Amino acid sequence: MGSSLIRRSQGEMVVPASRAGNSRLASYQVTNNTPLEFRHDPANPNRKIRRITARKSAKPRELQHSLASVMQQEADNVLEARTRRAEIVNTSRRDEKQNRSLDRIGSRDQFQSQSAGGAFKMDQDSGVEEFCLDNFSEVWIISVAVVWRKIAVTTVPDEGENSFKMPRASVVHMTSTATRPQHMSQVLATLALSMGTLSSGLAKGYTSPALDSILDNQPPHLYQTSNNDTWSAFSVTQQEASWVASLSMLGAWFGAMIGDWIMRRGRRLALRVTSLPLAVVWILTGIAPCVELVYVTSFIGGLCCSVITMVAQVYISEISMPGIRGCLSAMLKVLGHVGVLLSYIAGTYLNWRQSALLVAIAPSMLFLGTLFIPETPSYLVLNGKDDEAANSLQWLRGDHVDIRHELQVIKTNILASRAKQYELTFKNSMFTPRLYKPIAITCGLMFFQRFSGANAFNYYAVIIFRQTLGGMNPHGATIAIGFVQLLASLLSGFLIDIVGRLPLLIASTVFMSLALAGFGSYAYYVSQTQNLGYPDSAVVGQHDWIPLLCVLVFTTALALGISPISWLLIGELFPLEYRGLGSSISTSFSYFCAFVGIKLFMDFQQTFGLHGAFWFYAAVAVCGLCFVVCCVPETKGKQLDEMNPDYAQAR
């Protein structure tokens, strides 16, 4: 580079750090009038660690953007000069194809790229906040894109040059788009993990036909052995049945609280230690001699399903490319609804014991699948296992794909996340005003979702239909609900971004209220006509379509609106640094509300009648409508940074 000074595009003269004289200090004037300083560590001059210093008034986000702007401009200038030099030295390379990989530019330059991670620290003596780069090269590293290639540029001092000369740059790596990442390995890993969400869906759909079966609504011979031994046949009361249904949600509540602790031991390990016990739990359920054992298996099964669902979502987000991440995440959700539908179908032809043994297949397949998938690269980098992380990323992207650039990005992101979370403690996180409004909104939506009848239809559908559908098979109606729920969940993924969150929430709560009120009114009509002595066939059989239509409308409105959006807003409303804590609070609250709602359904029915229970759910849905209109913001098309400042002002 002919000159030791670089003139930036804004007309400013920039002095490199090595030209700053004895003080080894160079000032860069950047955006927002924030002065940045590059300097050597005064405590250890030989180490050459760069410190980018800003005044205390400068925000960390502004500092990061300013630093990125400076490094980008410097990298562009260095790259342009080195390219001109390479053309002069070796003109024959002009005729080479553009998709050929170049290992270096210049005969004397041979360098390695370094990662640029760091952390914010406060200088107690000067009162200055510093961002310390963990970079042992002389100046910086920056990645830029040229035409169809990715170029990693590092500037380091040449061994033969003194400290007053400009460090020289080298292009150390170029990858052509001919070696694009392969998606097959990521799809195969997702298919293995989908057995986990399929297991959760099977468990969710198992309860409704199983409770009908366990309440002795099927012939006793289904439970007898070949020797006419009825040791395995037992009946339960309605209160015991409510405990069987609700204890799974209580287990899921505990699973949400300990899931993060288990996940820190490894994503793949967490799947293994929960999938195998889940398979054993379902086998024990199938051979249970008493209801007390069913209580235990229901609780443990809910705990395992909760952890599996949580880990599966994190695993997919850490292994998938951005272009297919949404598709792979949607695959998990779809398999969950497919599991519910399959359980409804199996419950039509099998008793609760046979269904439990059938459900045990899915977690067994999940355990076998974890034997063939790698640990996530992010987790391995987080725990200092860089070689294993490289092998894992290579398996996920394909054997012929260069993963060095992506691996450096993962390392940088992890270092940045550590910097943001380094001052966060549970105490100051819980009492920050930025969490108050997001927690109130997400927990409010979870409350109205759980207490508006969703759990009643999911866990007691067959029992409810036996009381309201006269000439129609209750299992067939349940299968119809599962099918409609699956289709609505597929459609919701498109409508949420097209229509918006708030309009869908309003429409969802309106139609849920009308459907619940209509179903409760029909149940009241049936109870009153039965009290007058009319036969059931004369009353119920003629109007079977009314309750079925109400349930289908309710299921569609729930699956299109409040159900998926409640979970979506958890990721959109919470600030990034508090997202893990906020997600744990909202998820735990949701499972607790589900446990209470499922357990109290039988009590509501016995106290107020079936019609009274659904009128109560309709009233809750109306309150949910008011809550949505008054409190829930529209987040469609907004970046996360646009929403977070609103909550910083909350008190």
How confident is the model at residue 330, as a pLDDT?
76
Residues 396 and 498 both lie in one domain? no
Place 294 in a pLDDT band, splitting at 50, 70 and 90: very high
pLDDT at residue 93 above 70? no
Residue type, 99: N
Residues 496 and 598 both lie in one domain? yes
How confident is the model at residue 185, as a pLDDT?
85
Q: And the tokens for 503?
A: 């309009």
Number of domains in the chain: 2
Please give the mean pLDDT across all residues of the chain: 71
27: β partners:
37
Summarize the confidence of residues 267-275 as an average pLDDT. 91
Cα(109)–Cα(97) distance, integer angstroms = 22
Q: And the tokens for 341?
A: 């539908």
Question: Dihedral, CA atoms, 209, 212, 214, 218, nearest 10 degrees?
Answer: -100
Q: And the tokens for 336?
A: 């969950």
pLDDT at residue 547 above 60? yes
Q: Note every long-range contact of 293-297, with CB atoms under 8 Å and residues 24 or more positions apart, other chains counting.
A: 294/244, 295/243, 295/244, 295/247
pLDDT at residue 223 above 60? no
How confident is the model at residue 276, as a pLDDT?
93
Question: How deeply is 304 buried, as exposed, middle or buried, from its count of CB atoms within 10 A (0-12, 13-18, 19+)?
Answer: buried
Closest by CA to 492, choosing from 565, 440, 591, 585, is 565
- Whether 132 contacts 123, CB under 8 Å: no
Residues 342 and 475 both lie in one domain? no
* CB-CB neighbours of 250 under 10 Å: 21
How confident is the model at residue 523, as a pLDDT?
87
Distance of CA 397 to the CA centre of its chain: 21
Residues 356 and 481 both lie in one domain? no
Residue 615 lies in a domain: yes
Residue 53 lies in a domain: no
CATH of the domain at 508: 1.20.1250.20
DSSP state at residue 16: -
Residue 100 lies in a domain: no
Summarize the confidence of residues 491-510 as an average pLDDT. 85
Q: How far is CA 288 from CA 207, 353, 485, in A?
A: 15, 8, 31
How confident is the model at residue 187, as a pLDDT?
87
Q: What is the 3-state secondary structure (H, E, C) of 249-280?
A: HHHHHHHHHHHHHHHCCCHHHHHHHHHHHHHH
Residue 198 lies in a domain: yes
pLDDT at residue 4 above 80? no
How confident is the model at residue 511, as a pLDDT?
95
Cα(105)–Cα(95) distance, integer angstroms = 15
The model's pLDDT over 354-398, given as tens digits with 9 standing for 90+, comes to 999 999 999 999 999 999 989 888 888 888 888 888 888 888 888
First to last CA, the chain: 56
169: phi then psi, degrees, rounded to nearest 5: -110, 155
The model's pLDDT over 470-490, given as tens digits with 9 standing for 90+, comes to 667 888 888 988 899 889 888
pLDDT at residue 147 above 70? no
**Residue bearing the bigger pLDDT, 228 or 188:** 188
Residues 343 and 474 both lie in one domain? no
Residues 383 and 489 both lie in one domain? no
How confident is the model at residue 144, as a pLDDT?
30
Cα(386)–Cα(334) distance, integer angstroms = 34
H helix runs in 532-639, sequence order: 536-539, 545-560, 562-573, 579-631
pLDDT at residue 165 above 90? no
Among 32-36, 64-68, 333-337, 397-401, name the most confident range.
Answer: 333-337
**Residue bearing the bigger pLDDT, 513 or 378:** 513
Among 54-58, 271-275, 635-639, name the most confident range.
Answer: 271-275
Put simply, whether the predicted model's pTM sits higher than 0.95 gets the answer no
pLDDT at residue 457 above 90? no
Q: And the tokens for 228?
A: 């006419």
**Residue bearing the bigger pLDDT, 442 or 107:** 442
Cα(370)–Cα(167) distance, integer angstroms = 48
For tokens 């899915």, the residue is 362
Percent of the chain at pLDDT exceeding 90: 21
Residues 496 and 591 both lie in one domain? yes
Residue 506 lies in a domain: yes
Summarize the confidence of residues 87-93 as an average pLDDT. 55
- Category of 398 on φ-ψ map: left (φ > 0), alpha (ψ -120 to 50) or beta: left
Residue 393 lies in a domain: yes
Place 140 in a pLDDT band, splitting at 50, 70 and 90: very low
H helix runs in 350-372, sequence order: 352-359, 361-370
What is the extent of the structural domain holding 646? 437-650
Last residue of a domain, one of 355, 379, 401: 401
- Which secondary structure element, helix H or strand E, spans residue 172, and what is its range? strand 168-175
Q: Could you give the 3-state DSSP secondary structure of residue 51?
A: strand
Q: And the tokens for 450?
A: 């759980």
Among 166-170, 175-179, 361-365, 450-454, name the most confident range.
Answer: 361-365
H helix runs in 371-473, sequence order: 377-382, 386-397, 404-421, 426-430, 436-449, 455-468
Residues 357 and 279 both lie in one domain? yes
Residues 195 and 246 both lie in one domain? yes
Last residue of a domain, one of 378, 401, 424: 401
**Residue bearing the bigger pLDDT, 637 or 201:** 201
Summarize the confidence of residues 69-98 as an average pLDDT. 58
